[in-house]
Amino acid sequence: MLTGLSAFPLTPMNESAIDEAAFVRLVERLVAGGVDSIGALGSTGSYAYLGHAERARIARLAVQNAGNVPVIVGISALRTRDVLALAEDAEAAGASAVLLAPMSYQPLTDAEVFGLYDAVSARLSVPLCVYDNPGTTHFTFSDELHGRIAEAGPAWPIHRDSRARLSHWRPPASASRGCASWCHPR
């Protein structure tokens, strides 16, 4: 399972294209530096500024150039159908896990966010990382929602909290159904 240092590289680009060679160099440097996993297309990966095909390409490049280092691929999007398509691309690329932040222009409820994670989890064969980053999503996960997600199924063993707000919170014992760990930076 994913433990240790996970590095989230930038996705180098300009107005007309992704700089694929520069992205590959970043991935290779992270591998050489000994990171435990690589997170492609997180917030620092500028996923919101890339089209579907570009995101699929970055997922493939990350996995192809990471060697034996597990790759977590961000699949966040405004529409559930797009999230599901990105999840398929990430799995096809060989991602070890996917990372999902709830995105919306409208305020979301806990029920809506749970529904998103439930719908995506049902279609995955890899772990689904909960990306709790209210600074970019404007959604704050409650401890109750974290618990519901943890209890919901075996595809949800990893948690990424950019705020370290939940240092007191631990997943329930039943959340580890066949999974080894939860990621939570200090």
- For residue range 48-90, what is the model confidence (pLDDT) as tens digits? 899 999 999 999 999 999 999 999 999 999 999 999 999 999 9
pLDDT beyond 70 at 146:
yes
CATH of the domain at 29: 3.20.20.70
In a domain, 186, yes or no: no
In a domain, 17, yes or no: yes
Beta strands in the chain (DSSP E): 6-7, 37-40, 71-74, 97-100, 128-132, 158-161
The number of CA neighbours under 13 Å toward the Cβ of 81 is 0
In a domain, 184, yes or no: no
DSSP class of residue 98 equals E
What global pTM score does this model have? Answer: 0.84
pLDDT beyond 70 at 172:
no
In a domain, 27, yes or no: yes
Tell me the residue range of the domain where 95 lies.
6-176
